[in-house]
Structure 1
Amino acid sequence: MKNISPALVASLKTLGLFDSEAKVYSALVLYKYAEAKDLVEMLDISKPSIYESLRTLEERGLVVETNSKPLVYQAIPPEIAVRLLADVYVKAAEEALRGLHALEKENRQEKSARALWSIYGNATVGYKIDDMIDHAEQSIYCMASDRYVRHLERAAGKGVKVTLMVMSDDGTLEGRLKKTFEKDDATIYVMSAKEMIDAFSAGEMGNTNKVTPFKEAMGVLDHRSAFMLITDDREFLYVPPIAGDEISALNTTNQAFIMSSKFIFSPWSMKKAPDSKPRKK
């Protein structure tokens, strides 16, 4: 049926309906009410499938009978139907989370300290960043571009020591971060991309002959993707500055890796470029 778009059917399937159920409900919304035989003709779906779909839709409370002889079916209002379908998923998610947390408490095995884990995808990496910040108990050490600011702001008010070094050309960002972390033990640095490259070059390249080619190499990277986070000196997350639609990250709890990374990056964040000014809150 041309009136029922594939996108609509796909959305209803995502909410938990089978293909035939999604089409039957949509047809009833379109025609207000119909008999089973009418739905067979409209949708070109077998009669047994139509009856089975009507039965399950009735059980879900999405369809009601309005007449007994012959049986006439009517869809409940779409707003209510979508809410009912969504509530099922929300309740299932809550129940699953309770069960998984129970398993964690019952047999919690620490992640191998030798492992270096790979995380792929913007959403997945974002969830990991939020999780690390939310569970930090003592300290948060982070270097990032301003694309991650909404994640970093979650650290405000946690009562942990916060060190942030943010790369941005946004002149308003400094004021926003100062206000956000005004009640925290926070050290905040805001630098432009050029200042950051200059600071890192000065900190890492002792031989001045190597500085120019090093800065040229740094200049071709996608600094908007760059991100490094250490929480409680126990867990490390790094997003390399590589261009692409989806970002990927490396994650580890290996102490040697964490301490060496912090040693390498500390001079970069703490060494001011000529015009950069660290802000100690």
Structure 2
Amino acid sequence: MTNDESEAVDAFERLGLTSYEAKVFIALHRLGSGTARDVASVTDVPRSQVYSVAESLEDRGLVEVQQSSPIRYRPVSIEEAQQTLEQRFQHERERAFDYVETVRRDSETEETQEDIWTIRGSDRVDDRVVELLSQADERFIFGTRLPELVTESIERTIKERAEAGVSALVISRSDDIRAKFSDVDGVRTESPPRFRQDDQRSGRIVTADDDSILLSVIDDGGCETAIWSSDSLFANVLIQLLEANDELQPSPEPEPEPE
């Protein structure tokens, strides 16, 4: 089988045919018409399998059968086959997405869904951190012990949100990280209220407003894994527990100067 034919078989498989169905259909177009022996002679489909495969193609509307002895098979025209497959694809697409739409509507009727997601790999965690920080309207907390986990996009997003008036708190035991934001208006920096000197696993922590949180850890191989949740009771309760510490409270609003 040539590379072109192999690619054609693969394409027919993506349209819903089996490998044998695709090969028999192509073989019949090469022959014009033929018996099971004829088909088997020009393809690697065993003769014993050609009968059932041809019947399946007939059921699909792609092959016509002549009840002779021996039985002969003839493919429908390319135009008719194309129309048949297009109609089948359209029907299957509608059936699949109709079901998905039904499932989506059913899920919307549920009272609450607590969604806790897991992501692996620092690049993906970077993207999620930026997204959560960008969505904060009132305040956020960002913390890490590792300078390399403060990427340029994260640093830029923290500064942009602070400039937009969002209360920002950066927590780190790293002097370098705290120094990076110490002169940025609207960003408060703190050391962790409590931490273990032997901590070698923590990665990043992010909270955004009262409804989004991300926590990550670093495994022995240096791979970062995070869990995150938004718009959930889980996120809300965990954020309240974290902010129960006085040092993690958002900065108080400045009192207006007396006139």
1:249 pairs with 208, 213, 227, which one? 227
Where does the alignment leave 5 or more consecutive residues of structure 2 unmatched?
A: 65-71, 181-188, 252-259
Instruction: Deviation per CA, 1:118-149: give whole Å up to 9, x if none.
Output: 65565xxx9xxxxxxxxxxxxxxxxxx66434
Partner amino acid, structure 2, of 1:202 = S
2:241 pairs with 236, 260, 275, which one? 260
Task: Give the 3-state SS of the residue equivalent to 1:97 in structure 2.
Answer: helix
User: Residue 103 of structure 1 corresponds to which residue in structure 2?
Assistant: 106
Instruction: Deviation per CA, 1:2-50: give whole Å up to 9, x if none.
Output: 96769x75x866x5736xx233225645885444634445222613421
Partner amino acid, structure 1, of 2:227 = A
Assess if the C-alpha contact under 8 Å between 2:21 and 2:53 holds in 1: yes
Where does the alignment leave 5 or more consecutive residues of structure 1 unmatched?
A: 127-144, 271-281
In structure 2, relative to structure 1, the CA distance for the partners of 1:75 and 1:165 (3 Å cut) is farther
Which whole-Å CA distance do the structure 1 matches of 2:213 and 2:149 have between them?
22
Q: Relative CO higher for 1 or 2, CA cutoff 8 Å, sep ≥ 6?
A: 1
* TM-score of the two chains, using structure 2 as the length reference: 0.50
User: How much has 1:100 moved relative to structure 2?
Assistant: 1.9
1:1-281, aligned counterparts within 5 Å?
Answer: 15=14, 17=16, 21-25=18-22, 28=25, 33-34=30-31, 35=33, 37=36, 38-41=38-41, 42=43, 43-44=45-46, 46-58=49-61, 63=62, 71-73=74-76, 91-106=94-109, 108-111=110-113, 119=117, 122=120, 147-152=124-129, 154=131, 160-161=137-138, 163=140, 165=142, 168=149, 170-171=151-152, 174-175=155-156, 177=157, 185-186=165-166, 194=174, 195=176, 202-205=191-194, 213-214=197-198, 217-218=199-200, 221=201, 223=203, 226=204, 228=205, 230=207, 233-234=210-211, 236-242=213-219, 243=221, 247=225, 249=227, 253-254=233-234, 255-263=236-244, 267=248
Question: Over aligned residues, Cα RMSD in angstroms?
Answer: 5.8
* TM-score of the two chains, using structure 1 as the length reference: 0.47
Which whole-Å CA distance do the structure 2 matches of 1:240 and 1:248 have between them?
6
Which whole-Å CA distance do the structure 1 matches of 2:76 and 2:228 have between them?
55
Deviates more, 1:92-101 or 1:244-253: 244-253
Task: Give the 3-state SS of the residue equivalent to 1:46 in structure 2.
Answer: helix
Task: Give the 3-state SS of the residue equivalent to 2:191 in structure 1.
Answer: helix
Assess if the C-alpha contact under 8 Å between 1:28 and 1:73 holds in 2: no
Which whole-Å CA distance do the structure 2 matches of 1:191 and 1:161 have between them?
18
Assess if the C-alpha contact under 8 Å between 2:24 and 2:50 holds in 1: no
Partner amino acid, structure 2, of 1:249 = I
User: How much has 1:99 moved relative to structure 2?
Assistant: 0.8
